[in-house]
Chain A
Amino acid sequence: MRNPIYNILINFLLPNKGTIQEEIVNIKTKRLVVIVPTYRPTSITVKLVKNLVDFNRDLHLSVLVVDDSSPVSYQTIFDQILKINKSKVTVIHTPTNSLKAGAINFGLSYLEKNRLATDVIFTVDDDIVIKQPTIRLMLFKLFESRRIGAVCSLAKVLNKNVNLLTRLQGLEYNFFNVIRVADNNFIQGPLVMHGMISAFRYKAIKQVGGFRQNHIIEDYEITARLKNIGWYVALSPQAEAFTVVPETISHLWKQRVRWSFGGIQVVLSKNKLTSIIQDVIGHLLFISTVILLGLSFLFTPTPDNFETQKLVVIVSLTSFISSFVFFIYTLNFYREKDWVDMLIRLSFVMELIYSQILTFILLGSYLFYAYTKLRNRLSTKTAKKLGFIDHLFGNLGYSQSWGTR
């Protein structure tokens, strides 16, 4: 047996063979349940359920809509959902609002209590739009190998033409997809099976005990736990799903603060290195660079250091130019692009500003994480004196009590 470190290093250049096609499975024989956790559903939710049923009439697919204690006024929407197809659509209600992870777990326990046999569980957000072949393409990928425990779709932006911010997010999501393609068969697969739409083997989801409640980003967390027990995950590169992204800076800020802080929590929790390796490398590189840049101001400059300095610039320039050219190339995979998107990418400035905002959010998350750890060690009296820091972080959107609706 080869050294695992050797395998990982080789994997940076060559995909592993863990998920190569093993057998042809007839997906029509599989029993599928789509769990749609929803809070204050909209017409998009109704359309989503309708599409799920209509697009997959030849499959054993049922839809379980979990109402996470929406106000009574939303009952009319649930009635509309039930009218779509009473034999295939079920609506259940959680006793209290338990956020997305809690609602999915409620759905899972409903299936268990009612002894409803299931092979695959799909978890979907209630505000997404899918295409006709999305579900079956994901199934093909899921059953490509016995080692694959979860599969996600490509993530695309539904409202990308609203303003500059949504366009920037459209470009960003396109790059997420590119990275997921690159990460297919890289060690145990892409870092996150996103919550927009993912398919899990029922067996795998039961093995990890369902979603973990009270976690800020439950999708990354469950992906890491699946990998911890040996499952591979994958992207289905032709399956598409569209979601609505934040249209204002304040909404985007809150969302990204939650993602970046939740990401740090996952990285620092007890996961195997191989489950989160992409993230670990990124964080280490980022922190090392920031530390080195900080140190450079403390040490005395060395005279006649020009050759080494020039080397820094040459390598950085090469890195920057190659990445930028690749960025431009990835527009080939952005089918929804128009000339404005191309202009934004080519001009580079907008994306640079956008990425620097995200850098600040990440730095804030590091600080907030360190602060919360320190605060937990202090006595109650001292911690109370630090209330103004809590207030400051709170104003910037940092809090430990978020979760996905």
Chain B
Amino acid sequence: MINDSSSGKFIFVTVLVPTTFGLSLMVARSSNYMISWGLVVLSLITLMMSLTLMFRFFLNLKSYKKNHKKGFRLFSWLVVPLLGILFLGANAEAAYGKSSPVPQISFLLDNGLERTFAKSAPKLAWCQSKFIRNP
């Protein structure tokens, strides 16, 4: 038998990431300032863990080198630009505002997600009033 699913490495890569992603989207609309920062820090640690794992994987890849050279190139072409766009988009908006020269993440968030949340907001408010006690 192998029992890695009990281990943290599995949790943060395949369970925590989607969970954080899905739930933080939900919480982001109704949370406290401190909680939001807590989530930012946790998501950042998760991201760093995932990225360092990927990095170590590629460092150790020489043991696979003969069979998988093409794969490495494909990954570089896919991931580097993708991460670049995401980070630049987020940072450029802060620096340049609406006149940012790179694609803006916030544009997507402001338009797509906000509209989705606007629809679900009354339901969420109703759930909160029914089931959750605010101090």
Contacts and interface: CB of A to CB of B under 8 A. Distances in A.
A262 B32 CA distance: 36
A310 B43 CA distance: 12
Contacts, number: 288
B14 A315 contact: no
A181 B60 contact: yes
B117 to A, nearest CB: 10
Contacts of B35: 292, 295-296, 299
A174 to B, nearest CB: 12
A181 B64 contact: yes
Interface string B10-31: 1111111111110111011111
Contacts of A318: 47, 83, 86-87
B15 A286 contact: yes
Using C-beta atoms within 8 Å of the partner chain, give the interface range for chain B. Answer: 35 or more
A12 B7 CA distance: 17
A340 interface: no
Contacts of B14: 172, 175, 323, 351, 355, 358
Interface string B80-91: 001100110010
A13 B2 contact: no
A294 to B, nearest CB: 10
A313 B28 contact: yes
Contacts of A191: 4, 7, 9
Given A286-B12, A292-B42, A358-B15, A319 B20 contact: yes
A301 B28 CA distance: 10
A interface majority secondary structure: helix
B95 interface: no
Given A296-B27, A311-B40, A182 B56 contact: yes
A102 interface: no
Given A279-B8, A322-B47, A184 B23 contact: no
Interface in A344-394: 351-352, 355-356, 358-359, 362, 365
A397 interface: no
B45 interface: yes
Contacts of A352: 18
Given A173-B2, A292-B42, A316 B24 contact: yes
A310 B106 contact: yes
B78 A325 contact: yes
B28 A299 contact: no
Interface in A211-238: 217, 219-220, 237-238
Interface in A174-195: 175-176, 178-179, 181-186, 191-192, 194-195
A359 B6 CA distance: 10
Given A318-B86, A329-B79, 8 more contacts: A181-B57, A195-B1, A259-B1, A285-B42, A285-B49, A313-B28, A321-B82, A323-B14
Interface of B: 1-21, 23-25, 27-40, 42-47, 49-57, 59-61, 63-64, 68, 70-71, 74-75, 78-79, 82-83, 86-87, 90, 105-106, 109, 113, 128, 132-135
Give the 7 A-B CB pairs with smallest separation, nearest first.
A282-B8, A263-B6, A332-B71, A194-B2, A309-B28, A182-B57, A299-B32
